[in-house]
Amino acid sequence: MITLKDVTKRYGTKKALDQVNLELTPGKLIGLVGENGSGKSTTLKLIAGLNHPTKGEIKVNGEKVNRKIARSVSYLSELDEYYRFFTVKQSIAFYASQFEDFDEEKAYEILKFMKLNPYDKLKYLSKGNRGRLKIVLSLSRHVPVILMDEPLSGLDPMVRNSIVRGLISFIDLEKQLVLITTHEIRELENVLDEVIAIKDGSVIGHHNVEQLREEKHTNIVDWMTDIYE
Amino acid sequence: MSDIFQSSQPIYQQLAERMKRQIIRGELSPGDKLPSVRETGLDVSVNPNTVQRTYRELESMQIVETRRGQGTFVTEDQSVLDSLREEMKIKAISDFVREMQEMGYSDDEIQNGLTNYLHEKGETNA
């Protein structure tokens, strides 16, 4: 369970988030959508404890968020943050050394699913395979919360498809809550439980996706086009 | 990505329809074990939670049954399967008739048209 209560984040004079209230329940895949600069990445970083709110309070499973929250939160950055001289196998070993809950067996299972070679050096991996490796590393932890910042961004359709299939296969939806920021809504249309739209630092909509279809006969893309106007 | 579902209607209902058809066509036989929620999710690229909801929906219609610790199975109750077959037939016919009526065809025209079509089709198949 993640709760944000009246969360405001300022960078200098710019408000990145403005009095955001959210309650996210476990066992769901939730999409956070919005334009560039709307506050999506800031929201994720605040939940991951990588940044502090200017005002308000964030809790993960009842625990107030600070740097130590990394114990219960797996965070996939939008950037490529890794040691380029590592092989895929060494990266997995490194993650295993950093996080007690990292499951190496699961990592190799996902690795196989993603058709990655453990002996390839990261600096020689294609962008698509680096994207796949990031998924391997963030899904291999036994944590209640997984945050993914733009996991599909800038990747070709085949890679995006394999990542979506990886999510379906390896997220433990009985225990985990996954929050994904994305522009690639069409790809995720059928795999999201809930969608949250954010604009200029404010939440402008939060819906169960099947309910959106059932009650409003609309899909996520059309709904967004609607509320963004 | 699969385009087997319309994104403006609940996926769980569309998936339930799809599975009912598989049962009627005999792709899934009475007593067959359904793939796990995750396998089906992967197969049709849909959230496992949605698949779970489909299975519950089919269970409430007694078309499938969940056996604790074993999985979900197509019912072996022939009367349920017979009425499913009947229900799907009536639904397909009513969709067809409504479309014809919307275009202004009379009942006689629809009936004769269908009879002729089936007759000609029968000859070409023979």
Q: How far apart are CA A150 and CA A180, in angstroms?
A: 7
Residue B7 to residue A219, Cβ atoms within 8 A: yes
Q: How far apart are CA A217 and CA A89, in angstroms?
A: 46
With b for 16 or more beta-carbon neighbours within 10 A and e for fewer, the A154-179 pattern comes to ebeeebbbbbbbbbbbbbebeebbbb
- Greatest alpha-carbon pair distance for chain B in Å reads 54
Contacts of B53 in chain A (CB under 8 A): 210
Q: What is the pLDDT of residue A84?
A: 82
User: Tens digit of pLDDT for each residue in B17-72?
Assistant: 999 999 999 999 999 999 999 999 999 999 999 999 999 999 999 999 999 889 99
Q: How close, in Å, is residue A40 to chain B by CA atoms?
A: 22
pLDDT band at B1 (very low <50, low <70, confident <90, very high): very low
Residue A190 to residue B5, Cβ atoms within 8 A: yes
For chain B, the structural domain boundaries read: 11-76, 79-125
Average pLDDT, chain A: 93
Locate all alpha helices (DSSP H) within chain A, ordered by sequence. 40-47, 88-98, 104-113, 127-139, 157-170, 185-188, 209-216, 220-228
Residue A190 to residue B7, Cβ atoms within 8 A: yes
Q: Which residue of B has its CA nearest to A221?
A: B7
Residue B42 to residue A165, Cβ atoms within 8 A: yes
Inter-axis angle of helices B78-102 and B11-25, nearest 10 = 110
Q: How far apart are CA A37 and CA A196, in angstroms?
A: 15
Residue A17 has pLDDT above 50, yes or no: yes
Q: Token match 């522009």: residue?
A: A183
For chain A, the structural domain boundaries read: 28-36+66-228
Residue A104 has pLDDT above 50, yes or no: yes
For residue A34 the two structure tokens come to 């919005």
Residue B49 to residue A27, Cβ atoms within 8 A: yes
Residue B2 has pLDDT above 60, yes or no: no
Strands (E), B5-120: 64-67, 71-74
Q: How far apart are CA B81 and CA B48, in angstroms?
A: 26
- Residues A170-190 have a mean pLDDT of 92
Task: Give the list of residues 6+ apart from residue A34 with CB closer than 8 angstroms, or none.
Answer: A40, A197, A198, A199
Q: How close, in Å, is residue B35 to chain A by CA atoms?
A: 13
- Residues A153-158 have a mean pLDDT of 90
User: Tens digit of pLDDT for each residue in B65-103?
Assistant: 999 889 999 999 999 999 999 999 999 999 999 999 999
**Cβ–Cβ < 8 Å for A227, A197:** yes
User: Tens digit of pLDDT for each residue in A49-84?
Assistant: 999 999 999 999 999 998 888 889 999 988 877 778
Interface test with B, best of A191, A195, A217 (most B CBs within 10 A): A191
- Residues A37-46 have a mean pLDDT of 94
- The answer to whether A154 contacts chain B (CB < 8 Å) is no
Of B96 and A228, more confident: B96
Residue B124 has pLDDT above 80, yes or no: no
Option in B1, B9, B47 nearest A193 (CB): B47
Q: How far apart are CA A94 and CA B122, in angstroms?
A: 69
pLDDT band at A229 (very low <50, low <70, confident <90, very high): confident
Residue B126 has pLDDT above 70, yes or no: no
- The answer to whether A25 contacts chain B (CB < 8 Å) is no
Residue B125 has pLDDT above 80, yes or no: no
* CATH class entry, domain A28-36+66-228: alpha beta
CATH of B11-76, one of 1.10.10.10, 1.20.1050.140, 3.65.10.10, 3.30.300.30: 1.10.10.10
Coil/strand/helix, residue A76: strand
Residue A166 has pLDDT above 50, yes or no: yes
Option in B2, B10, B46 nearest A213 (CB): B10
ipTM confidence score: 0.86
